[in-house]
C-alpha cells in the first residue's frame, strides 16, 4: 500500500444563511467551511472545519512541507509536526481548526486506503446515534421558532434546542412558547452561549424548571469554571449543565471535568483537533463517568460518535445540516431520531459535489514529485476565487517555473510560503520602489 501523501488541496467556502441569525452573544449572516483534501495510493480523503478562512491560509502557507510526501498512517507524528510548525501562532483558535480539518482528512484517507468505513477503523460500539434538533435562533420570530422545533418533533427527533440570552427579559416567554409548540413529551434544551452572569444564570435555571427544560448549555462564559459549578450546584436536579464547544485541546476538557462544572461535556471535532482530539475527550469522559455530546458538524462526527463509548447524542445543527446536504453526496439522514453510518461507503462516506465549489476561495494545490525539491504548486495563486482551474492546466504562481518550484523570484510561492528577494524591504518592495521622504525613513533590507 502506497501511503505517501501525494497531493494536498485546501479551499474555503462561505455560504450565506437563509436570513440573518443570532444567539445570546453573536450575530452572523454566513458560515465558512475550510475544506482539506488529501490524496495517496490512488485514494482521496477529506476533512473540514467551520472556521475563518484564515485557517486555509495557515494550511496553504505552513503545512505542505509537513504533509506532502509523508505517511498518511503516521497521524500522531504528523499532528506533532503540524503543531511544531505553527508553534509561534499558538495552539488554539484557527490553528486548532486547521489541525482539526487535516486530522479528519488523514483519518478519512487512511480508512479509504484500507477500503473500510471510518467507523470500522475506529471500532464501533453502536450502530446508530440519536440526534437532537438544534437552531431556534434568537433572531427567529415566535412563529419561526415554533415551526422549526415542532417540525423536528414531527420527524421523530424527540430532543430540540433553542437559543436564549439575547433579550433576557423575554427568554421565559420564548421558552414557554417553545414548550407549547413541541408538546409535553419532547425534551427541551436551551443554549445561552455565555450570555448571562452567574446570578442571572441561576435565576433563569430556576425559572425554566416550569417548562421542564432538561439541558442548559453554556449558561455563563465557558471559561468561567467557577460560575459553571455554581449554576450546576443551584440548578434543578433534572436540568443538566453543559459546555465544551470552545474546548480547543484536551487540557481544557481536563480542567473543566476536574472542576465538576458540568453534567455533560460537549466536544467539537472541527475545533478540538479532529477525530483524535474528540476521541481523547471521550476517554476523559469515560474516566470521569460523564456523558459526551458532539457539537455541530453532524456528518463529520458520525463515525467517531459511533465509536465513543460515553457518547449520548449528535447535535443536528440546522446551519451545518443545510451546508453538508448541499456540499456532500452520502450525507446521512435521520430515521426515527437517529443517524446510522453507511458501511457500503469507505472512509467518512462523503463525496464532495464538485459543482458546488465554483465560488470557492481556493488557497492551493500541492503535489509531491520525486525530486530533491519535491513540492509543486499546481493551479492558480492562493486566494483565487472561482474554483479550480480547468483540468490539466498548470498555472504556477508569478515567478515560479512549471513543475517543482525551484526558482526564487520576487513574490514567488515556494513550498507554501512567500519568499522575498534579498534586497526587498520588510513590506516586500524592491529597494528601488521604497518610498522616500521626510515622513518615511528607510527600512533595513532583509
Mean pLDDT within 249-268: 98
Q: What is the pLDDT confidence band of residue 355, given thresholds at 50, 70 and 90?
A: confident
At 141-175, the pLDDT tens digits run 999 999 999 999 999 999 999 999 999 999 999 99
Q: Where are the beta strands (DSSP E) in 51-185?
A: 129-134, 159-163
Q: What is the pLDDT of residue 365?
A: 75
Rounded Cα distance, 425 and 197, in Å? 49
Q: What is the pLDDT confidence band of residue 368, given thresholds at 50, 70 and 90?
A: low
Residues belonging to the chain: 446
Share of the chain above pLDDT 90, in %: 79
Rounded Cα distance, 311 and 305, in Å? 6
Within the chain, all domains assigned CATH 3.20.20.120 are found at 120-345
- Res 351 pLDDT > 70: yes
Rounded Cα distance, 441 and 319, in Å? 50
- Res 348 pLDDT > 80: yes
Give the SS3 label for residue 142.
helix
Other C-beta atoms within 10 Å of 211: how many? Answer: 17
Q: What is the pLDDT of residue 199?
A: 98
What is the architecture, at CATH level 2, of domain 5-115+353-409?
Answer: 2-Layer Sandwich (3.30)
Global confidence as pTM: 0.84
Q: Of the ranges 168-172, 376-380, 411-415, 429-433, which one carries the lowest mean pLDDT score?
A: 411-415
- Res 43 pLDDT > 50: yes
Task: Return phi, psi of residue 52, to 5°.
Answer: -80, 150
Give the SS3 label for residue 414.
strand
Residue 101 contacts residue 34 (beta carbons within 8 Å): yes
Q: What is the pLDDT of residue 442?
A: 33
Residue 320 contacts residue 296 (beta carbons within 8 Å): yes
Q: What is the CA radius of gyration of the chain?
A: 24
Mean pLDDT within 179-183: 98
Cell of 134: 438544534
Q: What is the pLDDT confidence band of residue 424, given thresholds at 50, 70 and 90?
A: very low
The DSSP 8-state label assigned to residue 71 in this structure reads B
Within the chain, all domains assigned CATH 3.30.390.10 are found at 5-115+353-409
Q: What is the pLDDT confidence band of residue 445, given thresholds at 50, 70 and 90?
A: very low
Share of the chain above pLDDT 70, in %: 81
Other C-beta atoms within 10 Å of 441: how many? Answer: 8
Q: What is the pLDDT of residue 192?
A: 98
At 388-400, the pLDDT tens digits run 443 333 333 333 3
Residue 315 contacts residue 296 (beta carbons within 8 Å): yes
Residue 282 contacts residue 310 (beta carbons within 8 Å): yes
Q: Is the dihedral of CA 401, 402, 405, 406 positive or negative?
A: negative
Give the SS3 label for residue 125.
coil
Mean pLDDT within 279-295: 98
At 81-110, the pLDDT tens digits run 999 999 999 999 999 999 999 999 999 999
Q: Which residue has the higher pLDDT, 385 or 425?
A: 385
The DSSP 8-state label assigned to residue 441 in this structure reads P
Rounded Cα distance, 360 and 33, in Å? 10
- Res 210 pLDDT > 70: yes
Q: How many helices (H) and strands (E) does the chain have?
A: 13, 19
Query: Regarding the domain with residue range 120-345, which homologous superfamily does it belong to in the CATH classification?
Result: Enolase-like C-terminal domain (3.20.20.120)
Amino acid at each position: 500500500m502506497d501511503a505517501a501523501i501525494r497531493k494536498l488541496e485546501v479551499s474555503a467556502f462561505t455560504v450565506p444563511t437563509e436570513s440573518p441569525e443570532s444567539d445570546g452573544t453573536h450575530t452572523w449572516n454566513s458560515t465558512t467551511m475550510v475544506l482539506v483534501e488529501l490524496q495517496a495510493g490512488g485514494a482521496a480523503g477529506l476533512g473540514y472545519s467551520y472556521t475563518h478562512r484564515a485557517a486555509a491560509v495557515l494550511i496553504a502557507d505552513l503545512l505542505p512541507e509537513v504533509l506532502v510526501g509523508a505517511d498518511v498512517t503516521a497521524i500522531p507524528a504528523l499532528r506533532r509536526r503540524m503543531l511544531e510548525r505553527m508553534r509561534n501562532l499558538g495552539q488554539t483558535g484557527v490553528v486548532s481548526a486547521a489541525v482539526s480539518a487535516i486530522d479528519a482528512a488523514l483519518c478519512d484517507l487512511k480508512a479509504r486506503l484500507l477500503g473500510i468505513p471510518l467507523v470500522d477503523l475506529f471500532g464501533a460500539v453502536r450502530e446508530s446515534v440519536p440526534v437532537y434538533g438544534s437552531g431556534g435562533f434568537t433572531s427567529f420570530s415566535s412563529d419561526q421558532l415554533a415551526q422549526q422545533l415542532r417540525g423536528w418533533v414531527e420527524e421523530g427527533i424527540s430532543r430540540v434546542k433553542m437559543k436564549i440570552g439575547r433579550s433576557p427579559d423575554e427568554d421565559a416567554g420564548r421558552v414557554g412558547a417553545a414548550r407549547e409548540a413541541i408538546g409535553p413529551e419532547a425534551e427541551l434544551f436551551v443554549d445561552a452561549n455565555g450570555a448571562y452572569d452567574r446570578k442571572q444564570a441561576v435565576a433563569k435555571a430556576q425559572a425554566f424548571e416550569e417548562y421542564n427544560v432538561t439541558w442548559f448549555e453554556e449558561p455563563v462564559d465557558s471559561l468561567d469554571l467557577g460560575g459553571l459549578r455554581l449554576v450546576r450546584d443551584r440548578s434543578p436536579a433534572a436540568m443538566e449543565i453543559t459546555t465544551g464547544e470552545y474546548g480547543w485541546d484536551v487540557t481544557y476538557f481536563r480542567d473543566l471535568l476536574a472542576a465538576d462544572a458540568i453534567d455533560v461535556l460537549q466536544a467539537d471535532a472541527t475545533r478540538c483537533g479532529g477525530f483524535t482530539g474528540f476521541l481523547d475527550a471521550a476517554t476523559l469522559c469515560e474516566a470521569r463517568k460523564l456523558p459526551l455530546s458532539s457539537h455541530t458538524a453532524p456528518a463529520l462526527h458520525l463515525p467517531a460518535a459511533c465509536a465513543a463509548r460515553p457518547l449520548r447524542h449528535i447535535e443536528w445543527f440546522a446551519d451545518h445540516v443545510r451546508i453538508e446536504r448541499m456540499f456532500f453526496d452520502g450525507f446521512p439522514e435521520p430515521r426515527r431520531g437517529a443517524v446510522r453510518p453507511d458501511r457500503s461507503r469507505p472512509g467518512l462516506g462523503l463525496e464532495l459535489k464538485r459543482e458546488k465549489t465554483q465560488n470557492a476561495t481556493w488557497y492551493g494545490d500541492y503535489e509531491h514529485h520525486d525530486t530533491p525539491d519535491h513540492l509543486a504548486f499546481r493551479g492558480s495563486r492562493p486566494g483565487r476565487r472561482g474554483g479550480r482551474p480547468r483540468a490539466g492546466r498548470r498555472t504556477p504562481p508569478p515567478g515560479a517555473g512549471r513543475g517543482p518550484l525551484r526558482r526564487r523570484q520576487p513574490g514567488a510561492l515556494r513550498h507554501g510560503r512567500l519568499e522575498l528577494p534579498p534586497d526587498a524591504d520588510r513590506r516586500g518592495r524592491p529597494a528601488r520602489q521604497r518610498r522616500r521622504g521626510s515622513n518615511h525613513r528607510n527600512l533595513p533590507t532583509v
